[in-house]
């Protein structure tokens, strides 16, 4: 079992990572949150069928009443309607400030349940129990949100959890596509902060179907450690938190224009990372073995080129309206070297030129 303390200006909380970490949850609740009157688990349909009972069984030890509310899978969970249903459920079940919400699922459930917790009665406590690899990124940092038809994650809050309990057993049922999506964020964390981790990943993770518990433990612990350090310094996203957006400027544009759900988040940002690495070589002389990187990620099943049906002019417009751009130019996270990111505005002509070279 690994344990990381996250210290932000507003709160300090533990992240526990390991096999059967869920068994730590009752004790944590009894010690830290013994005043609770009720626990509400919010989870999605798929995760409910696979893992809800395990969590409910673990919570028996707390002696508290445990309710659950099941929402649709994926982005379908992050809608106004589902958010409203959750609030109605909380009101009808007399959830109040002495209650706890547990988000059991991937990033979508974490974002939705976290936003319900952030807003219900002006904020009640919640705990993240992530079940995807991607959620090593989303469960830490306190950003919670739902989508608006005009933009993803546009309606949200900063609301830090009381704890994050990451049970590696839950990852065993994750489909390969979702594993691939989450692993892209692991790669991202290594590239922006830790060359040693990058080299370790490249030589050890050669088949996504064959990742050992030890390897999961290492990559998740290091990934969360990197995110935690950045979030601790910049809780409300005024500065260096933007580095977490490495690969995301083009990635978001690709993900959005392929239609959310058709191309996973990780698959999209992997293409964005290849693009950002190429730009980094050109703009700041990044010394990086791009061919080795491309061979490695291709062997893991990632696509590394922009899908041909996407128009580059449209992607450019999407990149420029990305919320990280402060003026008319697209702002990119580039790398001076692996582990040393920087922000740079890049002219349209260069962006178009580089996209043409990606094919
Ligand atoms: P997700 O929650 O939609 O899960 C992906 C799919 O896997 C779903 O169909 C889900 O039912 C299924 N699933 C989850 N756990 C499973 C398990 N253990 N076994 C089998 N199936 C399982 O997606 P995600 O990739 O985890 O997260 C993506 C979301 O996270 C996006 O909405 C994104 O905006 C958000 N996000 C938020 C932050 C943040 O800082 N708040 C950061 C990154 C991403
Ligand atoms: Zn991401």
Decide if pLDDT at 133 tops 60: yes
Task: Find the mean pLDDT for residues 317-332.
Answer: 75
Task: Find the mean pLDDT for residues 84-113.
Answer: 98
Nearest ligand 1 atom to alpha carbon 50: 19
Q: Please state, in angstroms and rounded to a whole number, the distance separating the CA atoms of residues 83 and 42.
A: 11
Confidence at residue 3, expressed as pLDDT on a 0 to 100 scale: 96
Q: Which ligand is nearest to the CA of 270?
A: 2
pLDDT band at 272 (very low <50, low <70, confident <90, very high): very high
Confidence at residue 275, expressed as pLDDT on a 0 to 100 scale: 97
Task: Find the mean pLDDT for residues 324-343.
Answer: 85
Out of 42, 78, 79, 108, give the residue to mutate to test ligand 1, the one with the largest number of ligand atoms within 8 Å of its CB. Answer: 108
Q: Please state, in angstroms and rounded to a whole number, the distance separating the CA atoms of residues 28 and 38.
A: 15
Task: Find the mean pLDDT for residues 42-62.
Answer: 98
For residue 289, what is the enclosing H or E element? none
Give the N- to C-terminal CA distance of the chain in Å, as an integer.
Answer: 44
**Ligand 2 geometric centre to CA of 106 (Å):** 13
Ligand 1 pocket residue status of 267, Cβ below 6 Å? no
Nearest ligand 1 atom to alpha carbon 145: 41
Tens of pLDDT, residue by residue over 181-236, are 999 999 999 999 999 999 999 999 999 999 999 999 999 999 999 999 998 887 77
Return the higher-pLDDT residue of 262 and 214: 214
**Ligand 1 geometric centre to CA of 174 (Å):** 10
Confidence at residue 259, expressed as pLDDT on a 0 to 100 scale: 77
Task: Find the mean pLDDT for residues 3-8.
Answer: 93
Task: Find the mean pLDDT for residues 88-98.
Answer: 98
- pLDDT above 90 covers a percentage of the chain that reads 87
Decide if pLDDT at 20 tops 90: yes
Ligand 1 pocket residue status of 138, Cβ below 6 Å? yes
Q: Which ligand is nearest to the CA of 181?
A: 1
Q: Is the pTM of this model over 0.85?
A: yes
Q: Are 136 and 130 in contact (CB under 8 A)?
A: yes
Share the mean pLDDT of the chain: 94
Question: Buried (b) or exposed (e) across 274-288, using 16+ Cβ within 10 A?
Answer: bbbbbbbeebeebeb
pLDDT band at 323 (very low <50, low <70, confident <90, very high): low
Going by CA atoms, what residue is nearest to atom 4 of ligand 1?
106
Ligand 1 pocket residue status of 173, Cβ below 6 Å? yes
Confidence at residue 8, expressed as pLDDT on a 0 to 100 scale: 87
pLDDT band at 263 (very low <50, low <70, confident <90, very high): confident
Q: Are 13 and 5 in contact (CB under 8 A)?
A: yes
**Ligand 2 geometric centre to CA of 75 (Å):** 14
Q: Please state, in angstroms and rounded to a whole number, the distance separating the CA atoms of residues 77 and 97.
A: 23
For 80-130, give the DSSP string.
Answer: HHHHHHHHHHHHHTT--TTEEEEEEESHHHHHHHHHHHHHGGG---EEEEE
Ligand 1 pocket residue status of 143, Cβ below 6 Å? yes
Q: Are 69 and 256 in contact (CB under 8 A)?
A: no
């Amino acid at each position: 079992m690994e344990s990381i303390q996250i210290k932000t200006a507003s709160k300090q909380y533990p992240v526990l990572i390991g096999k059967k970490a869920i068994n730590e949850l009752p004790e944590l609740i009894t010690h830290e949150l013994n005043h609770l009157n009720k626990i509400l688990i919010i989870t999605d349909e798929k995760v409910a069928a696979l893992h809800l009972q395990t969590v409910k069984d673990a919570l028996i030890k707390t002696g508290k009443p445990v309710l659950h509310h099941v929402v649709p899978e994926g982005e379908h969970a992050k809608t106004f309607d589902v958010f409203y249903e959750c609030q109605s459920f909380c009101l009808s079940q007399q959830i109040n400030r002495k209650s706890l919400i547990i988000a059991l699922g991937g990033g979508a459930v974490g974002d939705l349940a976290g936003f319900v917790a952030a807003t219900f009665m002006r904020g009640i406590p919640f705990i993240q129990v992530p079940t995807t690899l991607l959620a090593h990124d989303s469960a830490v940092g306190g950003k919670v949100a739902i989508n608006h038809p005009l933009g993803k994650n546009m309606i949200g809050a900063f609301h830090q959890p009381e704890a994050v309990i990451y049970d590696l057993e839950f990852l065993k049922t994750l489909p390969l596509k979702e594993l691939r999506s989450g692993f892209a964020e692991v790669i991202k964390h290594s590239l922006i902060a830790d060359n040693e981790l990058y080299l370790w990943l490249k030589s050890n993770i050669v088949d996504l179907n064959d990742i050992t518990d030890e390897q999961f433990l290492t990559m998740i612990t290091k990934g969360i450690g990197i995110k935690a350090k950045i979030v601790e310094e910049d809780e409300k996203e005024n500065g260096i938190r933007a580095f977490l957006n490495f690969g995301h400027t083009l990635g978001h544009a690709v993900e959005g224009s392929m239609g959310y759900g058709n191309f996973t988040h990780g698959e999209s940002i992997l293409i964005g990372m290849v693009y950002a690495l190429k730009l980094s070589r050109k703009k700041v002389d990044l010394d990086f073995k791009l061919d080795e990187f491309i061979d490695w990620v291709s062997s893991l099943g990632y696509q590394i080129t922009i899908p041909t049906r996407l128009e580059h002019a449209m992607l450019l417009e999407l990149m420029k309206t990305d919320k990280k751009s402060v003026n008319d130019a697209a702002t990119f996270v580039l790398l001076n070297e692996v582990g040393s990111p920087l922000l740079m505005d890049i002219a349209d002509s260069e962006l178009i030129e580089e996209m043409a070279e990606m094919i």
